Amino acid sequence: MQLEHYMLGFKETFPPTMKTSLMLLPLNESLGSSLFDKRVISRICQSAYGKLGFMWVPIMCKTTGGSRPKKKIYHRVHELDRAMDLQKKPSLILQLKSIVQSQKYQSLLLRDLEKEVGFVKKWNYMAAIEKYPSIFRVSGGNRTPPTLTLGQNAEKIAAEEDDARGKMEPILVKNLRKLLMMSIDCRVPLETVELIESELGLPNDFKKSLIPKYPGFFSVKDLHGKAYLQLENWDSSLAISAREERLAREGILDSAGHTKKARITKDVNFRGPFAFHLKFPAGFRPNMSYLEEVQRWQKLEFPSPYLNARRFDIADPKARKRVVAVLHELLSLTMEKRLTSAQLDAFHTEYRLPARLLLCLIKHHGIFYITNKGTKSTVFLKEAYDGPSLIDKCPLLVFRDKFVALTGRKEINSCNGRPSSQFVV
């Protein structure tokens, strides 16, 4: 037995003495196949590695010869790493806007800012207030305590948020129904929905403002002392994935759902009815056998992510490909087509996700990208991005871009995108 170490882009730190190599699993190895019969994940090491952190997954594997195995590399996509960096300041500005607007008279005493965000974070917000006087106005002084309000232009644009929220409501209802339809019992713990509420674009009070408004679609039920969001009726017209909608737009499927002739493009994408859009990083140089393997996988039929997972055996290659479709669809339902690894894992039970979810994401690196930028590891849907920019934007993201543009900054995470046709109900 020989011990191989693989390094993944997750927020863990390890000794500098360890050699860095990254993981790329072959597509023909399944989550329940002999790959994991022969390899046993022994442990996950944690110790100081300086500023840059990674996860090492030591794996025991059988070898037939004495030669040293080739390094497996998980290629970084620097543009998507940059997308995480570009969101930091806009996120802080939008959070501060929300804090000011949540006050009774939409004004905040500066001395109370620490109560809202804590002592450490307060200084980041103070720096933003000082840097962007066109957005945040400080008044008072001498005998009156300094008060923070939105500037005139910022207040004018902030008033447009209600309109954006109004446009978002039918989108949110549709996406929430689809989210529940993919679960095995058409229900998801309410705490799981709350975990991704901001990623979906739900308002903070969605349990009071949105759910009771649609009793024909949703209900909250208590099961074994735990609150669940339950789907009240099934709509077959919603059981169409974002992948299928893209194929219809590209002419691979006609309006009746019939398949047209498949073909392979120069970017190594197979345009077939069961294919996923792949985006390999610039440094990735696959050999011919790998490309043939990809083509076979792309041609493989698989069940819809909206069919009940109980009907399928995870050992079946078609069921394993369906898991990829479920992850793809879940990310597609979010505003920015990304979730943290912890948020994805929260759907493990309801969606019957594989125990080795991380390895599944790494294996399909043409579809998903894992970055350790930011405070948490984040999984991107690669096809949704052009460089660091989100391609399609919902009305709420369009509004946020307009507000952040008051800083004079033209390029942010979701800039250069377009309002998405998929958000039209």
The shares of helix, strand and coil residues in the chain, as percent rounded to the nearest 5, are 40, 15, 45
User: pLDDT at position 418, please?
Assistant: 54
- Measured over the CA atoms of residue 329, residue 335, residue 338 and residue 342, the dihedral's sign is negative
Mean pLDDT, range 249-261, rounded to an integer: 61
Residue 367 has pLDDT above 70, yes or no: yes
User: pLDDT at position 202, please?
Assistant: 96
The two three-digit tokens of residue 103, written as one number: 């006050």
Residue 13 has pLDDT above 80, yes or no: no
Under the banding of pLDDT at 50, 70 and 90, the label for residue 99 is: very high
Residue 51 has pLDDT above 60, yes or no: no
The total of other beta-carbon atoms located within 10 Å of residue 37's CB is: 9
Q: Give the E-state strand segments of 95-212 in sequence order.
A: 108-109, 136-141, 144-150, 187-189
User: pLDDT at position 281, please?
Assistant: 80
User: pLDDT at position 32, please?
Assistant: 37
Mean pLDDT, range 235-263, rounded to an integer: 76
Mean pLDDT, range 116-133, rounded to an integer: 91
User: pLDDT at position 272, please?
Assistant: 85
Higher-scoring residue by pLDDT: 280, 3: 280
| Among the listed residues 72, 61, 87, the one whose alpha carbon sits nearest the alpha carbon of residue 21 | 72
With a pLDDT cut of 90, the percent of the chain lying above it is: 59
Mean pLDDT, range 24-35, rounded to an integer: 38
Higher-scoring residue by pLDDT: 157, 65: 157
Q: For the segment 397-419, what is each residue's pLDDT rounded down to a tens digit?
A: 999 999 999 988 664 444 445 55
End-to-end alpha carbon distance in the chain: 56
Contact 353, 323 (CB under 8 A): yes
Mean pLDDT, range 121-129, rounded to an integer: 92
User: pLDDT at position 409, please?
Assistant: 66
Residue 310 has pLDDT above 50, yes or no: yes
Under the banding of pLDDT at 50, 70 and 90, the label for residue 250 is: confident
User: pLDDT at position 19, please?
Assistant: 38
The two three-digit tokens of residue 162, written as one number: 């209600």
- Mind giving me the DSSP string for 161-182? HHHHHHHHHHHHHHHHHHHHHT
Under the banding of pLDDT at 50, 70 and 90, the label for residue 424 is: very low
Q: What is the mean pLDDT of the chain?
A: 81
> Long-range contact list for 154-163, CB < 8 A, 24+ apart?
154/97, 154/403, 154/406, 157/399, 157/402, 157/403, 157/406, 158/97, 158/101, 158/403, 160/399, 160/402, 161/399, 163/399
The two three-digit tokens of residue 94, written as one number: 């939008």
Under the banding of pLDDT at 50, 70 and 90, the label for residue 16 is: very low
User: pLDDT at position 419, please?
Assistant: 54
Residue 179 has pLDDT above 80, yes or no: yes
Q: For the segment 219-230, what is each residue's pLDDT rounded down to a tens digit?
A: 999 998 999 999
Residue 314 has pLDDT above 80, yes or no: yes
Contact 337, 384 (CB under 8 A): yes
Residue in the block written with tokens 């099961």: 223
Angle at 12 between CA 9 and CA 14, to 5 degrees: 105
Contact 393, 419 (CB under 8 A): yes
| Among the listed residues 422, 208, 249, 240, the one whose alpha carbon sits nearest the alpha carbon of residue 335 | 422
Residue 341 has pLDDT above 90, yes or no: yes
User: pLDDT at position 180, please?
Assistant: 98
> Long-range contact list for 410-413, CB < 8 A, 24+ apart?
411/86, 412/86, 412/87, 412/90, 413/83, 413/84, 413/86, 413/87, 413/90, 413/336, 413/388, 413/389
Residue 385 has pLDDT above 60, yes or no: yes
With a pLDDT cut of 70, the percent of the chain lying above it is: 75
The two three-digit tokens of residue 364, written as one number: 């399909």
Q: CA 280, CA 73: separation in Å to the nearest integer?
A: 13
Residue 27 has pLDDT above 50, yes or no: no
Under the banding of pLDDT at 50, 70 and 90, the label for residue 141 is: confident
The model carries a pTM of 0.79
Q: CA 341, CA 88: separation in Å to the nearest integer?
A: 19
Residue 140 has pLDDT above 80, yes or no: yes
Residue 187 has pLDDT above 50, yes or no: yes
Tell me how far CA of residue 312 lies from CA of 151, 239, 307, 317, in angstroms: 57, 18, 9, 10
